[in-house]
Amino acid sequence: MVEECILSVYNETKIVCPVHLDMQINWLAPDVVFADIPERYSINSDDIIKGTLLGRGAFGFVFKATCKLKAARNFKAVAMKMLQPVPPGPRAKESALMAYKIALGKWDRDPLQHSCKAYCTARQELAVLLTLKHQNIVPLVGICIRPLALVLELAPMGGLDLILRQYRRRGAHVGPHTFQILVLQAARAIEYLHRRRIIYRDLKSENVLVWDFPDPHSEDTPRNTVHIKIADYGISRQTAPNGSKGFGGTEGFMAPEIIRYNGEEEYTEKVDCFSFGMFIYEIISLRQPFEGYESIKECILEGSRPPLTQRETQFPTYCLDLMVLCWDELPKKRPSASQIVSILSAPECIHLLDTISLPHNEKVVCGIFNVFATNEDGTTGFEIWLPSYNSRIDIVDVLPSGNFLQGSTIICVDRIQMDNSPRSDLSNSSKSSRSRSNSRQHKINMICCCIIEDCVWIGDTIGNIHSYSIKSYAHTFTYMLDPVIKSPVISLVYLRNIERVAIGLHNGRVFLVDSTKIPTNCAFAEGTFVLTEICSGLILHSACSVIIDNEYELWCGEMAGKINVFPLNKSGVCGHQSLCHSDEPNIIEDVKVARMFATDDFVFSCLYPGFIVYQWNVYNKRIENKLDCSKLLPCSESLKSIAIDEHLSLVKCQISALASHSNELYIGTTWGCLIITELNTLRPITVFRPYENEIKSIITVPHPNFPLIATIGRRYRSLIARFMDIDNSQEGIKPTIYEQGGELRSSFRDIDNHIHVMLWRTNNWA
């Protein structure tokens, strides 16, 4: 009887009762004419004008329309989702006409079944849409009964699948910032549904409608306007506390637990998280999952996942990691929608490009980028030189996209007569290191480095300078600056314009040497190589240089918060000025100027112990701004990972590294935090904690067109592990080349004690 009532509404016929004769349908079965729906959602067919065809799906056609809303004089552009066959219009494609004829034929053959199916679809979507209100969910405008159609807000730019197709045709790709905004909006919509115990079950680009999106090849910035909303709730289901049943979804996006049991076994909202992984794949690759594959369901059940090209694997690493976790075979290993939102909201999500674990436990406190032109096509290439303790220099090649490529090792031998230091692959470096360790040769602990002309100069803890060619990796010289007092080399400052290098020792001696000369002997002898000595003070802790009016100034950080400034030219020192961090020097007598970094207009310094960064104006020699790092806590932390009961002592807020790139200052702390501030004002932009232990060094690419920096530290903290209930030892660390193919160490602390180098994209942190 109910089915006949539904059919009579669509056929616009009356129900005849043998006793009561003609019956008004809204008296007999008010539900079938949606009399229970609030009046404001009821749209009369006379108040809506159907327009052009927008698209079609399994449910039917979607038309553009104009609708006069109740208590409104103006018409509003809307979308009509037709749930019964309607002619697509005279300008429709042949495929649309054919689809209409097929649907109409089915309806004519069994009108009762199809009218009831259309009614149930409308009821299903209304049950969901009437209870939802979210900025990323398509809102319901109303329902039209004749013809049966859901009236929804019109998306000006159509479906996301059409936009991705346009990007692909024009050879463009979705940039990381646009990706983050887009995927985060979708994740928030799914999170909202899950909180209301609704499983969406059909997340894909085709069901995502677009209000704003950048054009292909437009600049990728966080200021791009992106606004999407999720549509089509025809197969969405309210879930019971113990799960849901039912077969639904799109091939390639459907979770294996639905496919395996044809929806007859209970599953949870984690099926949406599986689809979310495939949705991420769509955006990164601009392709459908398993495009061109046959037997897609079997592929998913066998554990296969869609492939990525080499270029696509260069996408920010956390985005790829999140995609892989989302499409995990086991639902319990997938992140929840809330966890996905937290991960995508983190600043490091799209800024971390790659991470590498060095295959040793030696101390690394410095590093430098070498920029070179490749021989093949003249493109720019990079490599990072990482001198360490125990005579080891690691060299890691970096792609311009910000991905590590391969690594090599130089074993630094303290023998002047040695002409070359062999460069060997990392896979063989363990043997080299092992064979060297068996000898009685002195181990060299390297603590600072600088590129001078076409060589890398490296200072060690006993006052030696070691030089290696950046082209051939050959050893060019080793020079001992102070044979009597073997004081560590604290700084190497290259004064390019006057062809000098200022070499500072911990004992306060600063030597000015000729950068164009190779020393003829191995120990200190003032003459052609060592030109003069600057008497800085009793102890030197840091140094940097600035250029003012085409003349260099060497800033030397010492004890009691004092800085000595020496104007320099080719002849040597031509003046002196003393600065102090406090008007009362006795108050800071026991502190040292531990770190200094110079830019064109500023010198940044910090004291130890201390947690304040000072910004000095290089022209008036005054402190213009300060930043108290003890007042900054990292974002992108869960309640579990931040350990709110942990006492944040001032020892953890000490500043361990300083560097600048473009308009930002980068500050590393002993707690493993990376603080990013505006260069000119020291206003904090963001703070996060990628390391458990201190950040040893921050190095920048000396090339304005490549916004890259690298950080060096121990005990990498995975962003994903901070929010997911997984073991860090399983997820957070990728085995080094020595551990692959062998048994991984059982102790996470041993594995994670390696030095980790992270590559970061530096543009658009805000």
Structure tokens at 315: 């996408």
Structure tokens at 43: 């749209």
Sign for the CA dihedral angle at 48, 50, 54, 57 comes to positive
Reduced to 3 states (helix: H, G, I; strand: E, B; else coil), residue 255 is: coil
Residue type, 260: R
Cα(421)–Cα(470) distance, integer angstroms: 12
Angle, helices 176-195 vs 270-285, to 10°: value is: 160
Cα(434)–Cα(743) distance, integer angstroms: 20
Structure tokens at 52: 């052009």
Cα(4)–Cα(431) distance, integer angstroms: 84
Backbone angles phi, psi at 240, to 5 degrees: -80, 165
Residue type, 153: E
**232 carries an active-site annotation:** no
Q: Yes or no: say if 45 and 22 are a contact pair by the CB < 8 Å rule.
A: no
Half-sphere exposure of 351 (CA within 13 A, CB side): 25
Angle, helices 160-169 vs 270-285, to 10°: value is: 30
Q: In 97-182, where do the E strands start and end? A: 140-144, 149-153
Angle, helices 337-345 vs 317-326, to 10°: value is: 180
Half-sphere exposure of 82 (CA within 13 A, CB side): 27
Cα(226)–Cα(180) distance, integer angstroms: 10
Buried b (16+ CB within 10 A) or exposed e, 146-171: ebbbbbbbbbeebbbbebbeebeeee
Q: Yes or no: say if 184 and 174 are a contact pair by the CB < 8 Å rule.
A: no
Q: Does the annotation flag 517 for ligand binding? A: no
Buried b (16+ CB within 10 A) or exposed e, 91-119: ebeeebeebbeebeeebeeeeeebbbbbb
User: In sequence order, what are the beta bridge partners of 669?
Assistant: 655
Structure tokens at 91: 């300008």
Which residues, 6 or more positions from 247, have their beta carbon under 8 angstroms from its beta carbon? 258, 262, 263, 264
Cα(184)–Cα(287) distance, integer angstroms: 20
Cα(709)–Cα(398) distance, integer angstroms: 11
Catalytic residue among 47, 110, 202, 628: 202
Which residues, 6 or more positions from 52, have their beta carbon under 8 angstroms from its beta carbon? 63, 64, 89, 91
DSSP H helices, 307-458, are 317-326, 337-345, 348-351, 426-437
Structure tokens at 714: 């121990």
Cα(73)–Cα(47) distance, integer angstroms: 11
What's the CA angle centered on 92, arms 87 and 94, to 5 degrees? Answer: 100
Sign for the CA dihedral angle at 244, 300, 254, 228 comes to positive
Number of H helices, E strands in the chain: 17, 42
Q: Which residues are annotated as a binding site?
A: 81
The set of catalytic residues is: 202
Q: Which residues are annotated as a binding site for ATP?
A: 81
